[in-house]
Chain A
Amino acid sequence: MNAIGSFALVAILAVPAAAAAILALLPGYRVTARLNIAASLFTFVIALALFTARPEPGRYLIVDDLNVVFIALNTFVAFTTSVFSASYIGHELETGRLTPVYLRFYHAMYQILMFAMNLALVANNIGLMWVAIELATLTTVLMVGIYRTPEALEAAWKYFILGSVGIALALFGTILVYLAAQAEVGEGMDAMAWSVLVTHAAAFDPGLLNLAFVFLLLGYGTKVGLAPLHAWLPDAHAEGPTPISAVLSGLLLNVALFALLRFKLLLAANAGALAPGPLMITMGLVSLVFASFMLYRRRDIKRMFAYSSIEHMGIITFAFGIGGPLANFAGLLHMTMHSLTKSAIFFGVGHIAQARGTQRIADIRGLTESHPMLGWGLVMGVVAIAGMPPLGIFMSEFLVVSSTFARQPLLALPLVAGLIIGFGALMLRLQGLVFGAPSGSRDTQVTASYVPMFAHLGLVLLAGVYLPAPLVAWFQNVAARLG
């Protein structure tokens, strides 16, 4: 039992790493794209094994209640994105935006990114987790700049500088946590291990812990894309290849938020530490309201959905800030739902931008007529992300709002206002995009794979109607521990 678990734990790291090495050497688009899919699928299947066979917490790696579902989600979206990526990249090669050399590089980077994110999730060491998130940042920087247009380079540079500043602040916070732990646990590796930190957190110096959390919130918050540290996010989403936008929004933001949750657990276990709630509520609300207003002025379709990601990260951070079993439950559910929905939207948007040859919203009209599958897929995705029933996001947003009413009624006002403003913006833009007379003479058909998009949307719909009992139990269990 445990042998299988330990094997699976090592394999979800080893498979992407090995695949990256192979993909860097192999030429040819068809073979590498398929290998990329195969490696991602294999990782996903192995990750599922972690549910049944959970390994003992090791010195460096751990699988616990908090990360096991995120690992599954991460590897699943990585797999579907690799399917989408295969058809997307094929088109990019045909139009000459990517050369075969860059393609090799792209596939290798994709797997390294998966390795880094999986490592960040399973790390049982705050230093190791930091290294993994740094690695994920660096690989995405390189991928955002891959088209080498002036816009892409500017976006990558901005992302690199802001991301590094964030990651530096997070390291400072990590050092402070070590200092707080060292006084209790003693010097050395133990004072950085999660499993040790959580059990001893009650005795840590609250002052140090508070200060550490401020740095960690600012540092990892930059990676989550919380306002006012979000400036890199829209550019990076808009200028990179769309599969990367999907992975950024769907996975990397979640991983950074997951890191924050880990540290929030420490604060929750320490009675003397400040409640992280107010800080998170403020940053979450500011991000939500700010992004909702910004949605109105977007002219670029990928940029618009990037702002929508900021909005949703704001909602999630807000929910964890409110705290309590219900709000935490809603936050976890929203993380899952947003990850699935947003990546589905980017799958659609990627093909739409290819079919129309532009990302300008004003130049895209009447999609339901010219490309019914893409058009209606986008309708469904936007309806889901805007929070309409009966889809999954409606349920999690409803839970956030109702738990806010129960605990802090006044805060519910700006929350609901932000949600409605964002909703309005999305609906307004959606109408122009999908209905009316189709625009443009370049109505090329793209060979799109619709399966990943509709698979995600189907899951979101399913979750909105019926959540499986084991998943609910897991969410409740983790929500209770988050305090």
Chain B
Amino acid sequence: MDAGLQFDVAHLLAGGLVLVSFMLLYQDRMFGLLNVFALHAFVLALSVAWQAFIQDAPHLYVTAAIALLFKAVIIPVALHRIVLRLGIHRTLETVVGVGLTMLAGMGLVALSIVIMLPAAVDADPLAREDLAFALSVVLLGLLMMVTRRNAVSQVVGFMSMENGLILAATGAKGMPFVVEISVAFSILIAFIVIGIFLFRIRERFDTVDLQALEMFRGERS
């Protein structure tokens, strides 16, 4: 296939992932957030599958399948249920306003382009620009974790960050399979842990709002 087209499609998908990351930032409803996260994982799956195709690396299809099945379907559905059961499907409050968050997000994307592009002059352009996108996704996920107070949306922020990492790992040509599997696996473990935590938090406080937790500081005198 034409090298230019390969490049363009890979770009389109990676850029799409950054765009969906921005969409995550301004979701103020629980279900909206989960739906957008499913979209995020779906775009990631497409992007990974495309990388598998152009790099001729069949094992990457497995990573794509994991992203599609596990992250775009199972996790959003499970979180959907948790949210329903806990009865927290009301509006989310964000710490900073939407406008400011978006501006900060744009700043982060600019930052990742500024530091990634000159750093990897020798690497092949596709890998380099893929990395810039991946770093943007990671930083946007981080931003989301910082600006949200709710445990569920922090978890979503964390998972979108993991998506960025997988994008970076697949963009690096021929990166050994061990790492991809382990990343997928660690997400699974992370999810189990989170599940346990949500359960326990619910048990103790009847809320998953972390603000309620922050009264307990251990150092009350």
Residue A179 at the chain B interface, CB threshold 8 Å: yes
Tell me whether A131 and B119 are in contact in the complex, defined as CB-CB below 8 angstroms, given that A153-B204, A175-B169, A179-B127 are known contacts: no
Residue A351 at the chain B interface, CB threshold 8 Å: no
Chain A residues near B186: list those with CB within 8 A: 131, 134
Within 8 A of A (CB), among B179-212: 179, 182-183, 186, 189-190, 193-194, 196-197, 200-201, 204-205, 210
Residue A228 at the chain B interface, CB threshold 8 Å: no
Contact A235 B218 (CB under 8 A): yes
Chain B residues near A211: list those with CB within 8 A: 115-116, 119-120
Q: Mark A116-138, 1 if CB is under 8 A from B, else 0.
A: 00000000010110110010001
Chain A residues near B165: list those with CB within 8 A: 168, 171-172, 175
Please, how many angstroms separate the alpha-carbon atoms of A161 and B162 in the complex? Answer: 13
Residue B47 at the chain A interface, CB threshold 8 Å: no
Residue B118 at the chain A interface, CB threshold 8 Å: yes
Chain A residues near B120: list those with CB within 8 A: 179, 205, 207-208, 211
Count: A-B pairs, CB below 8 Å: 133
Contact A192 B200 (CB under 8 A): no
Please, how many angstroms separate the alpha-carbon atoms of A130 and B179 in the complex? Answer: 9
| Set A131, A175, A191, A239: member contacting B168, Cβ < 8 A | A175
Chain A residues near B168: list those with CB within 8 A: 172, 175
Residue B67 at the chain A interface, CB threshold 8 Å: no
Chain B residues near A171: list those with CB within 8 A: 165, 169, 183
Q: How many residues of B contact A (CB 8 A)?
A: 51
Contact A151 B218 (CB under 8 A): yes
Stretch at the interface among B13-21, B68-76, B92-100, B170-178: B170-178
Stretch at the interface among A11-19, A182-190, A454-462, A468-476: A182-190
Please, how many angstroms separate the alpha-carbon atoms of A427 and B6 in the complex? Answer: 66
Q: Mark B110-128, 1 if CB is under 8 A from A, else 0.
A: 0000011011111100010
Contact B216 A188 (CB under 8 A): no
Of listed A156, A164, A174, A179, residue having the most chain B CB within 10 A: A179
CB distance from B176 to the nearest CB of A (A): 5
CB distance from B45 to the nearest CB of A (A): 19
Contact B145 A161 (CB under 8 A): yes
Please, how many angstroms separate the alpha-carbon atoms of A141 and B186 in the complex? Answer: 14
Residue A229 at the chain B interface, CB threshold 8 Å: no
Residue A178 at the chain B interface, CB threshold 8 Å: yes
Chain B residues near A23: list those with CB within 8 A: none
Please, how many angstroms separate the alpha-carbon atoms of A161 and B202 in the complex? Answer: 18
Within 8 A of A (CB), among B87-145: 115-116, 118-123, 127, 131, 134-135, 138, 142, 145
Please, how many angstroms separate the alpha-carbon atoms of A235 and B161 in the complex? Answer: 25
Contact B200 A145 (CB under 8 A): yes
Please, how many angstroms separate the alpha-carbon atoms of A147 and B55 in the complex? Answer: 49
**Could you tell me the dominant secondary structure of chain A's interface residues?**
helix
Residue B219 at the chain A interface, CB threshold 8 Å: yes
Q: How many residues of A contact B (CB 8 A)?
A: 50
Contact B213 A208 (CB under 8 A): no
Contact B193 A148 (CB under 8 A): no
Smallest Cβ-Cβ distance to B205: which chain A residue: A150
CB distance from B54 to the nearest CB of A (A): 14
Tell me whether A175 and B175 are in contact in the complex, defined as CB-CB below 8 angstroms, given that A138-B189, A168-B162, A207-B119 are known contacts: yes
| Set A165, A182, A239: member contacting B172, Cβ < 8 A | A182
Please, how many angstroms separate the alpha-carbon atoms of A187 and B121 in the complex? Answer: 18
| Set B127, B182, B221: member contacting A299, Cβ < 8 A | B221
Smallest Cβ-Cβ distance to B221: which chain A residue: A299
Tell me whether A207 and B118 are in contact in the complex, defined as CB-CB below 8 angstroms, given that A153-B204, A168-B165, A172-B168 are known contacts: yes
CB distance from B162 to the nearest CB of A (A): 7
Within 8 A of A (CB), among B48-74: none
Please, how many angstroms separate the alpha-carbon atoms of A208 and B128 in the complex? Answer: 10
Smallest Cβ-Cβ distance to A205: which chain B residue: B122
Contact A161 B158 (CB under 8 A): yes
Contact A165 B174 (CB under 8 A): no
| Set B123, B151, B154, B176: member contacting A205, Cβ < 8 A | B123
Please, how many angstroms separate the alpha-carbon atoms of A100 and B213 in the complex? Answer: 27
Contact A153 B197 (CB under 8 A): yes
Q: Mark B142-169, 1 if CB is under 8 A from A, else 0.
A: 1001000001001000100110010011
Please, how many angstroms separate the alpha-carbon atoms of A298 and B221 in the complex? Answer: 10
Residue B214 at the chain A interface, CB threshold 8 Å: yes
| Set A128, A174, A239: member contacting B218, Cβ < 8 A | A239
Contact B154 A161 (CB under 8 A): yes
Please, how many angstroms separate the alpha-carbon atoms of A171 and B141 in the complex? Answer: 15
Residue A64 at the chain B interface, CB threshold 8 Å: no
Chain B residues near A130: list those with CB within 8 A: 179, 182
Chain B residues near A127: list those with CB within 8 A: 176, 178-179, 182
Please, how many angstroms separate the alpha-carbon atoms of A127 and B115 in the complex? Answer: 24
CB distance from B189 to the nearest CB of A (A): 6
Residue A157 at the chain B interface, CB threshold 8 Å: yes
Q: Can you name 12 extra interface pairs (CB under 8 A) apart from A192-B176, A239-B218?
A: A160-B194, A161-B154, A165-B142, A165-B145, A169-B138, A172-B168, A175-B165, A175-B169, A179-B172, A187-B174, A211-B120, A235-B218
CB pairs A–B below 8 angstroms (11 shown)? A127-B182, A130-B179, A134-B182, A138-B189, A141-B193, A148-B204, A157-B201, A171-B165, A172-B168, A207-B118, A299-B221
Closest 6 A-B residue pairs measured CB to CB? A187-B174, A127-B179, A207-B119, A211-B119, A131-B182, A150-B216
